[in-house]
């Protein structure tokens, strides 16, 4: 494995993001793109009101520029960037309506869901038609490829929509979504290098580097939030990378922190309805539960990133 080729997009994206992000912060302040904090959230978060959001624009730009300059411009790279940009644009539209136009609802849930499905279907059809594996997915431990047949497209749609929304739910603390994404993206970059998916290696390396650069300004106390622009783009990009390498079944393990965050919301809602108003967690998503148990925000983030690192290493070991 050529580690210089692996490191190149990471370094380029890190430098670009570290340099570009402080240029966007005053611009977002002039646009009055300040974050609104939910009243029902932890009261300690109210101090964050007004912090510039939509910082995901920087992630979008730096990842795209890195991928276009680091080589490997082929069909896979363009589909990766298209999925990444499409979900970023969807998040930007939602952020712009809520933050700049001051309309609290943003896009409706139905609009977001339908647009997410549309992008996922295009991604599934592309992979099914172009990949030598067609509708097969890699099954870890047994090291075989399982042909899903007609079920492949709905399976990919589920993977994409679930991943996008799980990353979005994870983006609730300073540095949490970006910090967790670094080891997950690095795992996918290593998988791309090992399996010969050069475009995925470059793209995921760029994701990891951009998130590291963004953390310089997003770590606690955050000077900038990524908003839905960033979280939806990250979720879509990670899902697209896993799909193009046929390792969708490893994504729930590597992205286990995202899964736990999303699952906590599902369980909270189900338990609330089942018990007539009782709560399973003190607050969902899960990071808020630990905050209300007395954990400092920085401790929650450090624990989540450490868990993401362990799960990503386990995923790498399962690739054989």
pLDDT digits (tens, 9 = 90+) for 43-61: 566 566 678 888 999 999 9
- From CA 88, how far away is CA 181, in angstroms rounded? 15
Residue-level pLDDT at 102: 67
Residue-level pLDDT at 79: 95
Give the mean model confidence (pLDDT) for residues 10-14: 97
Higher pLDDT, 73 or 114: 114
pLDDT over 90 (residue 148): yes
In the structure, what pLDDT confidence band is assigned to residue 39 with cuts at 50, 70 and 90?
low
Q: Which residues contact 120 (CB under 8 A, 6 or more apart)?
A: 156, 157, 159, 160, 161, 239
Residue-level pLDDT at 70: 83
> Could you give the percent of the chain with pLDDT greater than 70?
91
pTM above 0.85, yes or no: yes
Residue-level pLDDT at 18: 97
């Amino acid at each position: 494995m050529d580690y210089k080729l692996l490191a190149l997009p990471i370094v380029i994206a890190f430098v670009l993001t570290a340099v570009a992000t402080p240029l966007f912060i005053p611009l977002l302040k002039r646009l009055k793109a300040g974050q609104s904090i939910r009243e029902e959230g932890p009261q300690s978060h109210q101090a964050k009101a007004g912090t510039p959001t939509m910082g995901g624009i920087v992630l979008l730009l730096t990842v795209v520029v890195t991928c276009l300059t680091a080589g490997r411009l082929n069909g896979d790279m363009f589909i990766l960037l298209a999925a990444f940009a499409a979900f970023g644009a969807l998040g930007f539209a939602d952020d712009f309506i809520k933050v700049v136009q001051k309309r609290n609802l943003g896009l409706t849930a139905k609009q977001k869901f339908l647009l997410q499905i549309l992008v996922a279907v295009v991604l599934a059809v592309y992979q099914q038609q172009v990949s030598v594996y067609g509708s097969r997915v890699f099954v870890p431990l047994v090291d075989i490829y399982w042909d899903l047949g007609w079920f492949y497209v709905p399976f990919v749609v589920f993977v994409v929509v679930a991943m996008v929304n799980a990353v979005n739910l994870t983006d609730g603390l300073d540095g949490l979504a970006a910090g967790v994404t670094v080891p997950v993206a690095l795992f996918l970059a290593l998988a791309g290098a090992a399996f010969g998916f050069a475009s995925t290696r470059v793209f995921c390396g760029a994701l990891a580097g951009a998130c590291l650069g963004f953390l310089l300004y997003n770590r606690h106390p955050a000077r900038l939030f990524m908003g839905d622009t960033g979280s939806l783009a990250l979720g879509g990009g990670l899902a697209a990378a896993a799909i193009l390498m046929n390792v969708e079944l490893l994504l729930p393990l590597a992205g286990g922190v995202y899964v736990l965050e999303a699952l906590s919301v599902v369980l909270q809602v189900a338990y609330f309805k089942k018990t007539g108003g009782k709560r399973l967690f003190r607050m969902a998503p899960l990071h808020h539960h630990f905050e209300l148990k007395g954990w400092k925000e920085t401790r929650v983030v450090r624990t989540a990133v450490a868990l993401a690192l362990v799960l990503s290493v386990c995923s790498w070991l399962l690739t054989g």
